[in-house]
Structures are given as structure tokens and as C-alpha cells.
Structure 1
């Protein structure tokens, strides 16, 4: 495991993956605890689960800042984790196939069960159990970026179908609606991808970005996904979508398709000037560069970092919606 930095109100957890053919499969994540707790039905603690996209990790983009915001100002426990094959978690279910949506759902299901069943035993710095944080949780909200939105929506549909459980709030950040568009994009970028059985990419694993091989089966699995099924989410489930108007990965028509499928359950927010990862596209010092709202500047890219705006949108929506 890489050396993970965590704050005083955070705890690093390693959660076993249930149902895996690999008996030692696990995911690693960080739970951020509120200073004052807020409970839901049956006095259960309210939990937000935050997920990354392709080649991402638990401390990617807005995820750490969102954990701070929702725990500090809204009283949520927030758990952000690495899917298998990413970050500090164990390897893929089958490395020859890569990261499949079904494996991501298995990871998320294991995380939910860990908290909902009361397996989580919080600890103090001295190793004693912190009774205030002990007990069962209720999953109030799922948040995911890009590729992570697919297992997020599918898990919400699965738990509704099999257990009759409604996830009250779902937040879609730059999520893809039509998977075949990914294959079109990939084949333009790597024309020989099918013949060579995959392509070279980068992934954040064990504390740093590394060159990795992404099997074509992983891309085909994503290419089969069409999210018209989100229309089957329970009518009481509310969905927020956040997209950058300069997204170079996901066509903006995908945002409209989510809005059409979800109808009145859905709120769509755009961030002007932001790309797929909520970064600006104009470098500081260029003639057209403007930073009207004084957002931070990305240290390496020297463009505006709109991720704080993402956090603000989510916090405002979740805070106002939960009061209704």
C-alpha cells in the first residue's frame, strides 16, 4: 500500500470484496467523519459513497474536498475508495479482462454491505473503539465521476430491484450515457486497438501514475453500456448531474439524455469553461484567460481548477434537497 495521507477526522480502511474468486481481494478507502453526527431513519448514520472514474483514485479531482465539505457542513460520513486495479486496492478480478463494470459493482456492493451491516468498527488514535462513530449506516447518497457513474447507477437499480432499497440521492459527474461513443473515440485515437488486443494507458497505482495495459475486453464492456435503464430508478430518487461545457471526452448530448430519461427527478448543472475533469482549457497568461471568480490555478497545467465549483454545486444541492 502507498503512504496515504489522511486527516485527524479520517480513517483508512481495507474492505474485503465479497463474491470475488480471489479470496484476498480488497478495496482501500478513506472515511471522513463529521464533528457532529447526523442520523437518518432508525438512528442510523448517513453515509455518502464517492467513486472515481477511469485511471482515477480516491484522492482524485474534487473527492477529498467534497469529503471535507459534506462532513463538516452537512454532517455526513463520507467514504471514498479505489476500485480494484486502481490506487491502493488489489488487482482486477481477471487482469486479462481488465476492469469490468460487473467487478466495479461487486466492489461497491461490498463497501455498502460493510457499512450497512455494522462491520465497520471505528477507532481512536489510541486504538480504542470510538463509540460515537460505531453502529450501522444508511447510504444516503452515491457520487461518481465519469466511468464510475456506470456501476453507481447499476448498483442503485440492483438494490432497488433485489432488495427494494431506494438510494435517495445520486450525483453524476461527467458521466457517459452511450457507451458506443467511447469505442468510436478510442478507435479514432488508437485505430489498431482491436487487432493488438488493447492499448497502453496510464493509471494511478500504489502511490504514483504508471504505464498500464488496458485490455480491449475492458473497452468492449464499456462500449456495451447504454444508460436508458436509469429511467427505472425509483421516483423518490433524486439525481444531480454536473458537466463541464468544454468536456472533450463525453458529448454534451449525453447530459441531455440523462435529463430526458430522468425527467423531473433530475437537475442538470453546467460549468462554463470546464473540461471533463473540471479544469479550464485556457492557460494562465494567454490572451483569452479570465478568472472572474478567482478559482485556484492548477499547479501543473496552469489552468483554472473548477473542482471547488463542483463541490459547491453538490453541497448546495444536497443541503437544499435534504431539507425538502
Structure 2
């Protein structure tokens, strides 16, 4: 624990925690400590950090109900060590290291929540690990083929030639540097297969905005077809960041968690 701050509303401590992943890299996170044995782990999306406001909103909301929450930076993001990952595998391993850390500290990880890429990753975690029984996928991507739109029609030729592709904006700003290995990992990630492998006794909330401009709402409908034990909540008019629908997002997640974690209103 590197530092401690206090929630202005409730006097709840926020403690900076450092956890090492399997590569020995330091993952830095913020624990909203209420003293509960149960803890909820919150995962950010691509090019985001633990300070992403929608995930912070959820941590504060859980605080108010006496549930501890932990939001952390995946390796290569925010304060954590390592290189940023376009693929999923390493970040799923990061999540596993975080869950293991709290389990070994005699805490009960009662739920995992992820937004965007983090939403896909909590599904991938649940498909290969069966220790978490409550999962919330907020605006996760199902169809990985859309990644090709960012790469361009000749992406395979450029990857074979240079080993990487630099994705730039219309103004020439570098948006992403992707290697052949990371591109292939993304394109070979099968969310259909992952959804089918999520246990029947694992309850999954799928939340999505009807106006999501990054991962269209069809992705949520596709997840709902393959994940057996799920609830689907489409927030009308909400974009990928829930810019004008922050309260609706928090309410949807809390309403679901209340029934699974049995905390009071």
C-alpha cells in the first residue's frame, strides 16, 4: 500500500495497492476499502486507466453500499509497468494475478466488471477460470473482425513487410502502433467460443448503449445468444462512454449486483 486518501463523502479509505503480475511487472491500483470481506474488481478499456470516470463512478457507488472495490491499471497503462497490449491474453493474466492477490489475502472476489476491452476480458476470464460467479460486461466487443477497419485493406501485406502498422488519425496523430503478433491475437480471439464456455452458474450482466459508436449494440445481442446465464440491459441513446447516461449505467450495474451480492439498497 503506497498511499491512503479518503473519500470526501463517506470517509472511506482509498489505498494505492501494488500487485505483481506473472511477468514480475508492477500493477498499480486503487482500493476503495470499506472493510467488507467481499471485493469487486473493476477493469478499464483500451487506452484508458483506472481513473476512467465511469469505472470510478461504479467504485464510489459500491462504496455507498459497503462493498469494497478495486480499480487498477493493466500492464502498460497508467501507473503500471510493462508495454501496452492490443491483444487480450496478457491483460486477462493481469486480472488473474489481481484476483489471486485478494484471494490470498482472505478476501472474497465476488464480482468482476469491465468496460469496452475490459468487458471482453472479463468474459474471457470467466470462460477459462470458474472461480468468479458474477460478471459485468459493459460495452464489450464481440466481433473482432471490425479491427480490420482500423488496419486498412492491405494490412496483411504491410505487416508481413514491416512487422507492424502505425495507425494515424486524419490529422497525422499516431493513434496506435500494432505488431503482427498483436493483430493476429485480436483477430483470432473468438468471443463466441468464450461465451459458450462461461459456466451456467456464472451470472453475467451485459450492458450496452443503443448508440454505441465503437462497439455497436449488435455485439451485446450476440453475447446474449451464447452466454447461458445472462441479463441483458440496453440503455437507449447511450454512447460508448455513456456521456449523457452515467446514472443509468450505475443503476443498471447496481440493480444487478444487489441481487447477486445481497447488499442493501
User: TM bucket by the smaller chain?
Assistant: 0.7 to 0.9
Alignment of 1:89-100 (within 5 A): 89-92=80-83, 98-100=85-87
Partners of 2:51 and 2:245 in 1: how far apart?
16
Q: Is the Cα–Cα contact under 8 Å of residues 120 and 137 in structure 2 kept in the other structure?
A: no
Q: Counterpart of 1:257?
A: 222
Partners of 2:18 and 2:167 in 1: how far apart?
29
Q: Is the Cα–Cα contact under 8 Å of residues 211 and 239 in structure 2 kept in the other structure?
A: yes
Q: Which runs of 5+ in 1 are unaligned?
A: 39-44, 119-135, 203-209, 280-304
Q: Counterpart of 1:289?
A: none
Q: State yes or no: 1:266 paired with 2:222.
A: no
Q: State yes or no: 1:225 paired with 2:229.
A: no
TM-score (norm 1): 0.70
Q: Deviations over 1:122-172 (max 9, x none)?
A: xxxxxxxxxxxxxx1111101001111233222222222xxxx3x121000
Distance 1:139 1:4, change over 3 A: closer
Q: Which has the larger radius of gyration?
A: 1
The secondary structure found in structure 1 opposite 2:129 is helix
Q: Is the Cα–Cα contact under 8 Å of residues 49 and 78 in structure 1 kept in the other structure?
A: yes
Partners of 2:16 and 2:168 in 1: how far apart?
28
Give me the CA root mean square deviation. 2.5
The secondary structure found in structure 2 opposite 1:141 is strand
Q: Which runs of 5+ in 2 are unaligned?
A: none
Q: Deviations over 1:287-313 (max 9, x none)?
A: xxxxxxxxxxxxxxxxxx322221111
Offset of residue 247 of structure 1: 0.8
Q: Counterpart of 1:301?
A: none
Q: State yes or no: 1:321 paired with 2:253.
A: no
TM-score (norm 2): 0.84
Offset of residue 68 of structure 1: 1.0
Offset of residue 27 of structure 1: 0.8
The secondary structure found in structure 1 opposite 2:247 is helix
Tell me which of 211, 216, 219 is aligned to 1:246: 211
Count matched residues.
Answer: 247
Partners of 1:110 and 1:58 in 2: how far apart?
16
Q: Counterpart of 2:57?
A: 65
Offset of residue 61 of structure 1: 3.2
Partners of 2:205 and 2:234 in 1: how far apart?
11
The secondary structure found in structure 1 opposite 2:227 is helix
Offset of residue 192 of structure 1: 5.7
Q: State yes or no: 1:151 paired with 2:115.
A: no
Q: Deviations over 1:169-210 (max 9, x none)?
A: 100000111211222x313xx5565526222469xxxxxxx9
Partners of 2:214 and 2:55 in 1: how far apart?
20
